[in-house]
Amino acid sequence: MEQVVDFLNKGQRDPRLNEILYPYADNKKANDIVSRYEPNKSYANKGHLSVDGLYRYLMSDENSVVDPVKFDLSDDMTQPLSNYFINSSHNTYLTGHQFTGRASVEIYRQALLAGCRCVELDCWDGSNENEPIITHGYTMC
């Protein structure tokens, strides 16, 4: 059971989440997951999660990146696009100042976790002609 709790807290949970709104998993939460997703009752009774049980949990709606409730559109989507707020990001990859800031992949992760759904990628030829790089062109970074 401790391995399931560790996996939920260290492998699945974003450490930046608010602990009150998104509490850490405990033995009760792990036991609930094992009892719901472990197909082998012998394993489930021992508090163990097989590969098949883990797969079932990882592929379940409970572990979905997007809350399934959000799949149902409940907003009026008949207006022109300019009438809606779209959470987007310009120069997403920059860690600081627009002209001197460094490019970082971590900033994309943070923006997407914060709800951004549109990011900018500035692709340039890298030092190896076969691989592009993401950077702010013609600046000091």
Active site residue 97: no
Contact 30, 17 (CB under 8 A): no
The active-site residue, picked from 8, 37, 93, 136, is: 136
The active-site residue, picked from 16, 41, 70, 90, is: 90
Active site residue 136: yes
Question: CA-based diameter of the chain, in Å?
Answer: 62
| Dist CA 118 CA 116 (whole Å) | 6
| Dist CA 36 CA 51 (whole Å) | 14
Helix (H) or strand (E) holding 45: helix 41-46
Catalytic residues: 90, 136
